[in-house]
Chain A
Amino acid sequence: MAGLLASLRGSTRPATEQVLAFLAFLSLGIGVGLLLGWATGHDPGVILGDLFEGSIGSSISIGYMLTAAAPLLLVAVGAVICMRAGQFNIGQEGQVTLGAIGAGFVIFHVDASGPVTIVLAFAAAALAGAAWAFLAALLKFGRGVDIVVSSLLLVFLAEQLLTALISGDGPLHDDGDGVLGGGTASQSPRVPEKSMLPTIHVLGVDVPLAFVLALVAAVLVAWFLSSAHAGYRLRILGQNPAVAGTIGISAPRLGSLAVAASGAFAGAAGGAILMGQSFQLNPGVSSSIGWSGLLIALAARTNASVSVLLALVFGAMVAGGGLLGGDGIPVDIVNVITAAIVVALLCPPVLLAALRRRRIRRSVEA
């Protein structure tokens, strides 16, 4: 949590304010979401109970929540990097898909021991995600194509690529013993037991390895952006490309690197999904985690540490939402609550900025 603490550095008062504002608006968002649930005829008490029970109600629930949060956090951390560098790569969803494909090739085609397979799979996932993102960067800096457009369109291309690879004669197609429709459905074989991500037992909770990796990544990226020389250069490029140019920063070079890095993180998230959650490639394997991760990064104002908190909230919603179906409540209500939370969480920075301005004004007047 060093990065988290670092981001809250300064005097303790602003830190307390940040945390309080975050919690206050989080509650407000949940409240509004529940209100909307109530308006459509569902008991807010039951919804809240299920969400609580399914996310942090038990050690197993916490494990679920962290499993769901891990890929979201990885995507968000990557998005923070490229957004800080001023490169609006929004194609994380496609880069997640490519990451899953890359991991799939290693898992289904490389014969190695479990740990080696996992390491290689993550490497392949990151590489595939980075390469996919790099295409968009190449189009931007080589041909002047708007990266928002190119990275977005590459998402659809990635989906087609995945479907092609897991169908018919595709190299990742499940040829026989699939659970349903073996040999005909567009899906890969199941991930063998040895390549499934392990968990680490901490304080009675089985913490998934993917979450530990994501957390370490978040802390490292937060530190990198604030302290490393390259991190400074990245931020300078993002804040003012004209100034960046005069101090010798090449926008095409550094910008492409930032985009590729964001793609690598999204790709790693794809690997984490395949080896930690879905255990099989199917057409919807990315399950909008790329979009949600991007949303987390933006709602966290491209702050890696705040992204940790938001990823946990999103993870809690996903994990808790699983219980709603059992009570006859449509799972869609979770999306409504999540949306309300995101909107509510956009408020604290504005509020805090206003507070800061007032404080500066007072100190100037004093």
Chain B
Amino acid sequence: MPALRMAGITKHFNGVPACFDVDFEVAPGEIHGLLGQNGAGKSTLMNILLGLVRPDRGEVTLAGEPAVIRDPNAARALGVRMVHQHYSLIPTLSVWENVVLSGEGRVDRDRTIGQIEEVSERFGLEVSPRAMVGDLSVGEQQRVELVTCLIDRPRLLVLDEPTAVLTRQESRSLFTMLRRLVDQDGCSVVLISHNLAEITAVAHRATVMRGGRVVSRVIPAETPVTELARHMIGRDLPGTPDVAAAIGADPVPIAGEPAAMTEPEPADTEPVLRIVGATATHDGTRALDALDLEIRAGEIVGVAGVEGNGQQWLSALLAGSLPLQDGEVRVHGRRVPVGRPGSTRKAGVGVVPEDRKTSGCILDMSVADNLALAGLKSLARAGVVSRRKLHSLAERLVEEFDIAVASVDQPMRSLSGGNQQKVVLAREMSAGPAVLVLAQPTRGLDVGAVADLHERMRQAAAAGVAVLLISSDLNEIMQLSDRIAVIYRGRIQGELARAEADPEKLGLLMGGVSA
């Protein structure tokens, strides 16, 4: 009898299926890998198990008993616990206080501390109950989360990308502990991961999801990594022809055929943007780890990778807001003092950030102001901004980029997400950048807007701009990039010319395996 059986699970969000008719089974005392890209439906499936999301259809059975899980408390009562990717700890409280918070009943410090010590001894999880959580490293914080879950003696433990923030050493000890947990206590573990080597090493069985469906069930130890990679990415990588046609692009040739769109510049030209050994941390966690990247004029380089592997930091670095501990960024051979406000913009780098609302535009200023933001100085004479010039600039860009506004004086806040994105794009592209960085640029755009954006990117590249496309949408990357760099845990795991990129190679690189 399986420890967990989820049958026929279907969940739609706004009419879009996140999970479709998913069957998922975990045996008692096994570590079960759950593999897939972003948007594969892993999180939705686990959120349903935890009672955070209600399925449209489907049944959950725990150890043969049908279970109705309405919220995480119900899940806990049934012995199901989860360690989320982002910990839910309160940094200003001590370890034992955090443990108490997730429990029930009276607060009993001595009893709680006793429980923590017992659990940490049994599983070799070093945790000092009186330490302040804010003082702990990320690995230690994860141990606190684990202890909190293990005190309840769960029969099913879900871990969401547990090693993403851990050092190799910490990961190894986590896996040792997980094996002990399944062997000694008969607990079952679901391990969500996109790290192929990891799944191969520790999971007894694995389920691979893609596009909301289960695509395969495998025994990782007996399955070649390359096959796992292929399952994860899928064979139809460059997009089914109709999708590609819908966004106005011809299906891109896969392996073998040479790229037709732009002739890659000869390799000996000096790169416009050169990042060498960029290393940075943020709030004590590794953000970039000796990242190297070069882009030449007229080239579109796509940065692919599973989200959360440092894409946002690469984008922040090029926006000039992430200081480096080591390494350097050069534009046209000149070193840029990154981390200093406006440093990269001054060097000719334009960034369309991923979170346009918080770091791309100013919601409470007008559309015209937002369009002029980067070039205010050129609109000013003797320190006074010319309203006339500002308006004519705004009118021109609104026209050119087809931004739907009633008036350029309209507040940015009142625009749709797609139009806000167009405003940011119009501003960055009109500034005449040497390097244009676009992070997840098509997210939230409709099909027409996507096609338009892609056309503009090609035009920019054709005009000699070095374009860096950071996207978790592989179709987009494959359609546009001359070269594809795969980012994994803050460094470039490998680079592929588009002609040599295939699902297997991409999947391996995204899973942290060197191709």
Contacts and interface: CB of A to CB of B under 8 A. Distances in A.
A363 B410 CA distance: 13
B341 A236 contact: no
Given A229-B384, A232-B376, A363-B406, A247 B361 contact: no
B359 interface: yes
Interface string A224-259: 000111101101100110111111111100000000
Interface string A203-240: 00000000000000000000000011110110110011
B432 to A, nearest CB: 15
A19 interface: no
B362 interface: yes
B319 to A, nearest CB: 5
B423 to A, nearest CB: 12
B318 to A, nearest CB: 10
A232 B372 CA distance: 11
Interface string A284-324: 00000000000000000000000000000000000000000
B374 interface: yes
Contacts of A351: none
Given A227-B384, A228-B383, A239 B321 contact: no
B365 interface: yes
B433 interface: no
A59 B193 CA distance: 80
B342 A245 contact: yes
A247 B374 contact: yes
Q: Which of A235, A240, A250 has the most CB of B within 10 A?
A: A240
Contact of A229 (B319, B364, B369, B376): B376
A246 B365 contact: no
A360 interface: yes
Given A228-B383, A229-B380, A248 B365 contact: no
Contacts of B374: 247
Contact of A360 (B342, B344, B359, B414): B414
A243 B406 CA distance: 25
Which residue among A232, A236, A243, A249 has the maximum number of chain B CB atoms within 10 Å of its CB?
A243
A245 B341 contact: yes
Given A227-B385, A228-B384, A239 B362 contact: yes
A144 B360 CA distance: 26
Contacts, number: 73
Contacts of A360: 414
Interface string A48-79: 00000000000000000000000000000000
A364 B404 CA distance: 12
Contacts of B441: none
Contacts of A229: 376-377, 380, 383-385
Given A245-B320, A250-B341, A235 B383 contact: no
B384 A247 contact: no
B191 interface: no
Contacts of B359: 240, 242-243, 246
A251 B377 CA distance: 18
A236 B320 CA distance: 17
Contacts of A244: 341
A251 B341 contact: yes
A247 B342 contact: yes
A294 to B, nearest CB: 22
Contacts of B321: 242, 245-246
Interface string B413-456: 01000000000000000000000000000000000000000000
In this complex, the interface size class of chain B, counting residues with CB under 8 Å from chain A, is 20 to 34
Contacts of B320: 245-246
B27 interface: no
Nearest to B321: A245
Contacts of B340: 250
A243 B376 contact: no
A119 B321 CA distance: 44
B361 A243 contact: yes
Contacts of B341: 244-251
A231 to B, nearest CB: 8
B385 A228 contact: yes
A242 B319 CA distance: 10
Interface string B68-84: 00000000000000000
Contacts of A363: 406
A84 to B, nearest CB: 11
Contacts of A246: 319-321, 341-342, 344-345, 351, 359
B361 A230 contact: no
Contacts of B380: 228-229
A363 B384 CA distance: 33
Contacts of B384: 227-229
Nearest to B342: A248
Nearest to A239: B362
A230 B384 CA distance: 8
Contacts of A243: 359-362, 373
Contacts of B344: 246
A146 to B, nearest CB: 16
A228 B382 CA distance: 9
Interface in A168-205: none
B152 to A, nearest CB: 39
Contacts of A236: 362, 365, 373
A251 B342 CA distance: 11
A227 B345 CA distance: 23
Contact of B358 (A240, A247, A250, A251): A240
A40 B340 CA distance: 60
B109 interface: no
Given A246-B319, A246-B320, A246-B321, A230 B362 contact: no
B96 to A, nearest CB: 29
Interface in B340-382: 340-346, 351, 358-365, 369, 373-374, 376-377, 380
Nearest to B361: A243
B387 A248 contact: no
A249 B373 contact: no
B289 to A, nearest CB: 23
Contacts of A245: 319-321, 341-342
Given A227-B387, A246-B341, A232 B361 contact: no
A362 to B, nearest CB: 12
Nearest to A223: B384
A5 to B, nearest CB: 15
A255 to B, nearest CB: 12
A232 B358 contact: no
B145 to A, nearest CB: 29
B342 A239 contact: no
A227 B383 CA distance: 9
5 contacts: A228-B383, A242-B358, A247-B373, A249-B341, A360-B414
The 5 tightest CB contacts between A and B, nearest first, are A248-B342, A229-B380, A242-B359, A245-B341, A239-B362
Given A229-B383, A247-B342, A249-B342, 8 more contacts: A227-B385, A232-B369, A240-B359, A242-B359, A243-B373, A246-B351, A248-B341, A360-B414
